[in-house]
Amino acid sequence: MQLRREFFARSVHEVAPELIGATLLYDGVGGVIVEVEAYDQDDPASHAFRGMTPTTVSMFGPAGHAYVYRSYGIHWCLNLVCASEGRAEAALVRALAPTHGLDAMRARRGLDRERSLCSGPGKLCQALGITRTSDGMALDRPPFRLIARESEPEIAIGTRIGITRAIERPWRYGYAGSPFLSRPFRSLPGWG
């Protein structure tokens, strides 16, 4: 079942945990989403916090599209834009369990262990071939494909990684027990 635009036209705080277990493909390459983080407009850690700039336009909508940004001058990171136009909310995809196109991923990443192919936001964009040209693309049309999960996994919750502001907000969601996370969640699901 394809995830349609309506799925994303809600609060990122509802959408983000529901993305865990969905399958993300780009040109047929990808896997199961096992880790995401939520960012909203009133969030000092969000790119949208200071208002729209030329590089953050796609984060301001419409929902159901990609927001891709360059990180630390080197990496690309993929967000799935949520909420409705005018509001800027997005889920950062931080890790996948690789299922489709393993050879293509290994070729792009170099000879890498399966566990390391997509275990980080920069890694998965490299593995899937996502760059600035993917920014603003609709998520329900090629080359993107998003398939809804068929059952609800156990969700781990924790604090977000790599930020310096609003570090206490528990807006990181993971597939509990997955070996493909960018970093483990702390002990029991519920806090991190």
Question: Which residues make up the interface to DNA (CB under 7 A)?
Answer: 37, 39, 45-48, 50, 53-55, 59, 67, 69-75, 77, 79, 90, 92, 109, 112, 116, 120-124, 160-165, 182
Dist CA 179 CA 31 (whole Å): 13
Find the radius of gyration of the CA atoms of the chain: 15
Output 105 or 156, the one with its CB closest to DNA: 105
Overall size of the chain counted in residues? 192
| Least CB distance to DNA at residue 173 (A) | 13
| Least CB distance to DNA at residue 21 (A) | 20
> Of 68, 72, 60, nearest to 162 (Cα)?
72
| Least CB distance to DNA at residue 68 (A) | 10
Token representation of residue 24: 């993300």
Question: At 159, is the secondary structure helix, strand, or coil?
Answer: coil
Beta-ladder partners of 39: 90
| Least CB distance to DNA at residue 84 (A) | 17
Dist CA 67 CA 46 (whole Å): 12
Dist CA 57 CA 62 (whole Å): 10
Output 96 or 157, the one with its CB closest to DNA: 96
Output 22 or 77, the one with its CB closest to DNA: 77
| Least CB distance to DNA at residue 65 (A) | 13
Output 1 or 124, the one with its CB closest to DNA: 124
132: phi then psi, degrees, rounded to nearest 5: -55, -30
Output 61 or 121, the one with its CB closest to DNA: 121
Dist CA 154 CA 144 (whole Å): 26
